[in-house]
Chains A and B, each alone.
Chain A
Amino acid sequence: MNKLVHNELLKLFRKRRLFVIILIIAALVPLFTYAQYQEVKTTREKLGNVDWRTQLQQEIVDTQNRLSSSRMQDDWRKYLKIRLAQQQYYLDHNINPQAPGAPTFMRVFVENSIDLLLPLLVMVVAADLVSSEASGGTIKLLLTRPVKRWRILLSKYLALILSVSFIVTASAVLSYGISGVVFGYGGWGMPLLTGFSTSGEELVTNNVHLIPQWQYILMEFGLVWFVCLVVGTLTFMLSVLLRSTAAVMGIMLAALIAGAILSNMVSSWESAKYLFMVNLSLTDYISGMATPIEGMSLGFSLIVLLVWAIAGLVVSFTVFTKKDVY
């Protein structure tokens, strides 16, 4: 099995997939860093004040002002109210959630890329893992070896898990390394609040507790890793089912983008919460953001994603071991 996984990693490596992904991240992170830097700068200019408390207070007041506007959708209003309660909580407990520093940037980066950017990158690796062998014809050589088909597929899946881990690590290292040049490398020990949960419009805080930022980040990256694995698994399944890598990418891309759109629309369509793509923003549960649909929670989303992934794996392995290769 080791040798088979080695084969798959070699092929991935030689196709320069991982290299391209690292380049993409390395190109995007400075962009985000600059944007973040600009934002900090303009807020400072606007307020003529560097104290984060004043800034956070301003944000709260701004949010309150938006809430007083009569033309506002209910779910957006709900979201703002929860956000407001949370900001107020941070302020009351004298914790700056946006204290500048590379770890904070990492956290913001991962929270914003969990539902689209990182899954897309994972998709690039997973999409042609099997379909390229089919379209390139090499599958005929691969399957006429004295190795059972499920072992070949398993080796590919293990290679996928390793690449996903590598991508997540690469994004962590790159976002820390690059943003640190601007924001400094400190701030690992900063306390952050987690354990928020929502019930209706209320922000439930009785489970809220403080954890240091490094633990917070480790937890968020754990969730990102899980999301990437699920997306990778589903892409992998499509890759088994379809010969064309472009078709795999197209379908997955459509699903992910649909998820991003749906998250903003589905508040009244309750059964949409069983779709995998509206459950990707797992980090929102850690930071206590409002859920797109009533009744969603971290446990719920984890289970939904897990079920999708297992189903994807079952389909992949059944189809791959049974199918006729033409």
Chain B
Amino acid sequence: MRKKGLSLITALSILSALVWLVGLAWVLQDQFFADGKSRQAETMQPDTPQKQKDNSSSAKKLQIAAIGDSLTRGTGDPDGKGYIGYLKEELAKKTKKEIELTNSAIKGQTSSQLIKQIQQPQIQRQIKNADVILLTIGGNDLFRGGQALEELDSQNINKTEDAYLSNLKAIYKEVRSLNKSGIVYHVGLYNPFSDMKDSKTTSGIVRKWNYDSANAAAAQPNIIYVPTFDLFELNVNDYLYSDHFHPNKQGYQLIGERTASLIRFSEEDQK
């Protein structure tokens, strides 16, 4: 019995040594010596994303696609939920539908970067399947790119805004062309510097951006521009994270509740 065990293991070992040697040889052949004919990855694509099942948008689910910058990401919220997290919680109270959320926001993203991001097929797929699209954008154009509020150079700011607006229109157009029926909620800008000196000037700039953005939103069907300026106007420091720029938990809760209140459900879907 013992002898058989040993010879079995020996035979097995010899066999495996050969198999792994073949594996190793294959590595060498594949990585170093293979010629062009095996290099046809692109042509032997299995199936394209477009043909993939799009059955995920069933009636039982509410699909939310979130894109944009750090606000959508939730930077500053210790729980990492951000306003979309609270929004989801709010919605869950209202509906029996299953909520499916994809968050593709990237910290520090500007409007021009977002245009590139929504060219990606997977992002497009998400937008296409979504019932609700959440968007925050522009904060990084205004506060970082232009350094507008430090220099208060009106000419510079105007230039930045023009670029932003044309980007925004392009984003709206792209989203609309991907998804005709889904409602887009564009969450607006607030002024994190409203309790500092020059607050009049800074608030004025932010108001102008919001106004122009809202105008652009109105030009397209089913794009709702959600104001947040008023939420942060008083007691701004109670709602800001320690970086004095992003909202804190309470700030996000305010935005989330406001946006959630705008999303309605049909009778049968209500709780």
Residues of A within 8 A of B (CB): 6, 9-10, 13, 18, 47-49, 51, 53-54, 56-58, 60-61, 64-65, 68-69, 88, 91-95, 161-166, 168-169, 191, 193-195, 207-211, 215, 218-226, 285-286, 298-299
Do B104 and A61 touch (CB < 8 A)?
Answer: yes
Known contacts A13-B6, A93-B45, A162-B10; decide if A169 and B104 are in contact (CB<8 Å): no
Report the separation of the CA atoms of residues A170 and B238 in the bound assembly, to the nearest whole angstrom. 61
Report the separation of the CA atoms of residues A165 and B40 in the bound assembly, to the nearest whole angstrom. 33
Report the separation of the CA atoms of residues A92 and B42 in the bound assembly, to the nearest whole angstrom. 11
Do B23 and A222 touch (CB < 8 A)?
Answer: yes
Do B106 and A61 touch (CB < 8 A)?
Answer: yes
Q: Decide yes or no whether B38 CB sits under 8 A from chain A.
A: yes
0/1 interface trace, chain B 110-122, chain A, CB 8 Å (1 if under): 0000000000111
Q: Decide yes or no whether B30 CB sits under 8 A from chain A.
A: yes
Which residue in B20, B34, B123 is a CB contact (below 8 Å) of A225?
Answer: B20
Do A54 and B101 touch (CB < 8 A)?
Answer: no
Report the separation of the CA atoms of residues A110 and B6 in the bound assembly, to the nearest whole angstrom. 26
Known contacts A13-B5, A165-B13, A165-B16; decide if A222 and B27 are in contact (CB<8 Å): yes
Report the separation of the CA atoms of residues A56 and B122 in the bound assembly, to the nearest whole angstrom. 9
Do A13 and B9 touch (CB < 8 A)?
Answer: yes
Known contacts A53-B122, A91-B122, A162-B13; decide if A210 and B44 are in contact (CB<8 Å): yes
- Chain A residues lying within 8 Å of B52, measured Cβ to Cβ, are 53, 94
Which residue in B39, B46, B100, B120 is a CB contact (below 8 Å) of A94?
Answer: B46
List the 10 closest pairs (A to B, CB-CB), nearest first. Answer: A222-B23, A222-B24, A225-B20, A162-B13, A169-B16, A165-B17, A57-B122, A165-B16, A166-B13, A218-B23
Do B102 and A49 touch (CB < 8 A)?
Answer: yes
Report the separation of the CA atoms of residues A66 and B92 in the bound assembly, to the nearest whole angstrom. 29
Interface residues of B in 1-59 (CB under 8 A from A): 5-6, 9-10, 12-14, 16-17, 19-27, 30-32, 34, 38-42, 44-49, 52, 56
Return the chain B residue nearest A63 by Cβ. B106
Do A193 and B20 touch (CB < 8 A)?
Answer: no
Do B98 and A48 touch (CB < 8 A)?
Answer: yes
- Chain A residues lying within 8 Å of B10, measured Cβ to Cβ, are 6, 9, 162
Report the separation of the CA atoms of residues A193 and B30 in the bound assembly, to the nearest whole angstrom. 12
- Chain B residues lying within 8 Å of A95, measured Cβ to Cβ, are 46
Q: Decide yes or no whether B107 CB sits under 8 A from chain A.
A: yes
- Chain B residues lying within 8 Å of A209, measured Cβ to Cβ, are 34, 38-41
Which residue in B16, B46, B106 is a CB contact (below 8 Å) of A191?
Answer: B46
Interface residues of B in 58-87 (CB under 8 A from A): 73
Do B13 and A68 touch (CB < 8 A)?
Answer: no
Which residue in A48, A93, A215, A223 is a CB contact (below 8 Å) of B101?
Answer: A48
Return the chain B residue nearest A91 by Cβ. B122
A101 nearest CB across to chain B (Å): 16
Known contacts A6-B10, A9-B10, A13-B5; decide if A218 and B26 are in contact (CB<8 Å): yes
Which residue in A9, A64, A223 is a CB contact (below 8 Å) of B27?
Answer: A223
Report the separation of the CA atoms of residues A65 and B149 in the bound assembly, to the nearest whole angstrom. 25
Q: Decide yes or no whether B105 CB sits under 8 A from chain A.
A: yes
Known contacts A91-B121, A91-B122; decide if A211 and B20 are in contact (CB<8 Å): no
Do B106 and A57 touch (CB < 8 A)?
Answer: no
- Chain A residues lying within 8 Å of B30, measured Cβ to Cβ, are 194-195, 211, 215, 219
Which residue in B12, B26, B104 is a CB contact (below 8 Å) of A166?
Answer: B12
Do A49 and B6 touch (CB < 8 A)?
Answer: no
- Chain A residues lying within 8 Å of B16, measured Cβ to Cβ, are 165-166, 168-169
Report the separation of the CA atoms of residues A220 and B56 in the bound assembly, to the nearest whole angstrom. 36
- Chain B residues lying within 8 Å of A286, measured Cβ to Cβ, are 27, 31
A-B contact pairs, 30 of them (CB 8 A): A10-B6, A47-B100, A47-B101, A48-B98, A48-B99, A53-B52, A53-B122, A57-B126, A58-B103, A58-B104, A61-B103, A61-B105, A68-B107, A88-B120, A91-B120, A94-B48, A165-B16, A195-B39, A208-B41, A209-B39, A209-B40, A218-B23, A219-B23, A219-B30, A220-B23, A222-B22, A222-B27, A223-B27, A286-B31, A298-B31
Do A69 and B107 touch (CB < 8 A)?
Answer: yes
Q: Decide yes or no whether B94 CB sits under 8 A from chain A.
A: no
Do A195 and B9 touch (CB < 8 A)?
Answer: no
Report the separation of the CA atoms of residues A223 and B56 in the bound assembly, to the nearest whole angstrom. 41
